[in-house]
Structure 1
């Protein structure tokens, strides 16, 4: 089949998406979502009667409100015998707006946080701007990719709602937990944005990888500190995530058990253990079929996890470490 011709499913998805965007372009429909959300009690979900909804919104013409409700029903609103309530899709729309993603643009100047730089051990500062959280080391100019400014050791999307009523250290911890779960979801092939399938779409391996590990500066060829990078793209919402292959062993129980046997409660989610990634050893075992080995050395042993082109584990091997 010609891949340039949209499939029936793709056309249907596009059509549904167009209709959903059009629904949200009307102020009355947005008001319906807002009022139903404000009356929503998760512990006691009670639909709202038509008359009360009309009064709360301030629409005098019942026919006009009924017209807009009919448009929303099936997408974001559910009609029951007792009245109207939000569908889960409607709740997600309101939550997105409440998260501040679409309405706020806060900025927080750099402030010290209680963690160490995983490259040099120095002290990073936390800041927030344009919807992104930044960690910048004050002691080194580490630059793992060319899209990061010198000294930026980590950069992550984080909704403004996560800033409310938290100190910088509390925000940083919340961001760590939030980001860790999202990364785990991507590794497991489920989009953290819409829950659609999010398969591996590319494994990029630099042919002549020469980063400056002494200064933690990216390779001029691939513009990354890391030799192998994996891309996932969601089949539903087109959300893209790219990360080093070195993150993938963190999802393997054998790796957690290996560390535990050596007296380490392994949790790559913590910033303090992020430096463990730098000890992992990558091998390109074969190109066709693609096989990537990632070895975790500890004392006199090493655990090697082998992945295929979809970054699925095909082998786990434990052996004495080769010196």
Structure 2
């Protein structure tokens, strides 16, 4: 079987309900055998479980699926990566329209006007945080119908926070959270973009996957906040970065507690300062938003005194 199919050819393979039933059957059999670790399902076992008119027809459908969605072994059939991803999507029913959500009142500050208190809703199947004061969006992120079904109210917000934190950690390593391809990140001057005059961020990051084109842009301060040194620094000051919504960081921009400056141009170097109580953490980043060094600073008598 030729496995070099076009995307259109691959999606046509799924137009037959019998083939989808085969994929669901293999997934359910793997779930039943999860304690034994057996991942393959034999031809005869599939035939017993799938409503198909004859072994020759089942053989035909298995042949169409093999190479793209299934792998054939001596002991039976198991998933390829594409098959694994697809069947989870189908079983979770993530092709359905999610239920309505909100508005849910949540903590956070509007990135644009600085007003506290945001409303979370679903808009065009995206998790959206909107400011009730200026009615502008403060943050949005993708959610799945299964996620909406499994969580409601504050639990949904917590689920989005966890997903976002995990995605940002992968992006810091240059890995796309969607396709695991390569993510490239660069720093740009946020004041030079059309919305720059409404956002209190001097510099921001632009991260883009070269394979699936996933894109995310964040204030440089927010991107630096997920560095391990920052996570530890804030934890010692009673803040769980990984368990806090990124939109809850916006007020640090408005009150000047988090700042970002360009300190060199050949090559470009940026300094992010994250202040907390009487201490602050300085992170120095290159043009790719990679942290090159850090400094801990204590404020004493209004003079910086470095502690290493």
TM-score range, shorter chain: 0.7 to 0.9
Which residue number corresponds to residue 310 of structure 1? Answer: 288
Residue matched to 1:230: 205
Q: Aligned residue for 2:306?
A: none
| Compared CA separation, residues 173 and 298, structure 1 to 2 (3 A) | closer
**Deviation sequence 1:8-36 (CA, Å, 0-9, x none):** xxxxx996655533433444332321222
Query: Quick one: structure 1 residues 276 and 306, their matched pair in 2 at CA, closer, same or farther if it must change by over 3 Å?
Result: farther
User: C-alpha root-mean-square deviation of aligned residues, in Å?
Assistant: 3.1
Equivalence for 1:249 = 224
| 1:120-173 CA distance string (max 9 Å, x none) | 5643332223221122343x32xxxxxxxx243222111110122433111111
Query: 8 Å contact 2:130–2:137 — kept in the other structure?
Result: yes
Partner of 1:264: 238
What SS class does the counterpart of residue 75 from structure 1 fall into? coil
TM-score, normalising length from structure 2? 0.80
- Select 2:196's aligned residue among 216, 219, 224: 219
CA distance in 1, matches of 2:266, 2:17: 55
Task: Determine if the alignment matches structure 1 residue 192 to structure 2 residue 177.
Answer: yes
How far off its partner does 1:317 sit?
2.6
Residue 93 (structure 1) aligns with = 86
Deviations 1:217-244 (A, max 9, x none): x534xx6543322222222222222222
Gaps of 5+ in 1: 1-12, 142-149, 212-217
**Cα offset for 1:195?**
1.2
Unaligned runs of 5+ in 2: 304-308
Q: CA deviation at 1:95?
A: 1.4
Match of 1:73 among 48, 66, 78: 66
Query: Are 1:268 and 1:274, in contact at CA under 8 Å, matched by a contact in 2?
Result: no
Task: Give the distance between the partners of 1:319 and 1:84, measured in 2 at CA.
Answer: 59
Contact 2:102 2:153 in 1 (8 A): no
With 287-296 and 250-259 compared, the bigger mean Cα shift is at: 250-259
- Is 1:23 the equivalent of 2:13? yes
Q: Which of the residues 205, 216, 234 maps onto 2:189?
A: 205
How many Å separate the matches in 2 of 1:80 and 1:207?
57
Equivalent position to 2:35, from 24, 43, 57: 43
